[in-house]
Structure 1
C-alpha cells in the first residue's frame, strides 16, 4: 500500500496511528459507560496523550531534519512548539 523509504517518516506516522487508536478507543469507552463523570475522566487521560504525541512526533521530525537544516532554523521550529504550548496553557 505505502512504500516508505524514510524510517523517521514511518515512525512519525505510526505514532499518529497509535494516537488515533487511543482516541477512538476512548470515544467508544465514553459511549460504553454512558456517564458524564466517566467521560470526563477518560477525557482527562486524553489530555495527557495528545500533547505527548505531539512532542514525540516533533522530536522525531527535528531529529530527521538535524543534518539537513541549520541549527538556527531548528531552534525556531522548537521555539514555535514551545509558543504553541505557552499560548494554549496561558489563562
Structure 2
C-alpha cells in the first residue's frame, strides 16, 4: 500500500483527499437530514452544503493550478482563472 501511495503525485493525492472529505461531509449531511425528519431543518443543512461546495471546488482547483504553474504560461493561467471566476459568478448570481 505504501508503494502505491508513493507513485501518486502529491497534488493529485491531496486533491483526491479533499474530494473524499467533501463526499464524507455530504453523506453525513444526508444522514442528518434523515434523522431530523423536518423539511425546514433539512433546508438549513442543505444551505450549509451550498457554502462548503464552492470552498472545496476553489481549494482543489488552487492546488491543481499551483502544481501546474511551471508547465503553463501566464496567459493560460489567466484564462483558467477567468473560467473559474465565471463558474463562481454563475453559481452565485
* Superposition TM-score, scaled by structure 2 size: 0.90
1:5 to 8, 11, 30: 8
Please report how far the alpha carbon of residue 33 of structure 1 lies from its aligned counterpart in structure 2 after TM superposition.
0.7
How many residues are paired up?
90
Please report how far the alpha carbon of residue 88 of structure 1 lies from its aligned counterpart in structure 2 after TM superposition.
2.2
Task: Spell out the pairing of 1:1-91 with structure 2 (5 A cutoff).
Answer: 2-3=4-5, 4-90=7-93
Partner SS for 2:20 = helix
**Runs of 4+ deviating beyond 3 Å:** 1-4
Alignment gaps of 5+ in structure 2? none
Alpha-carbon distance in 2 for matches of 1:26, 1:62: 29
Q: Of Structure 1 and Structure 2, which has the larger fraction of its residues in helix?
A: 2
* Superposition TM-score, scaled by structure 1 size: 0.92
Please report how far the alpha carbon of residue 23 of structure 1 lies from its aligned counterpart in structure 2 after TM superposition.
0.3
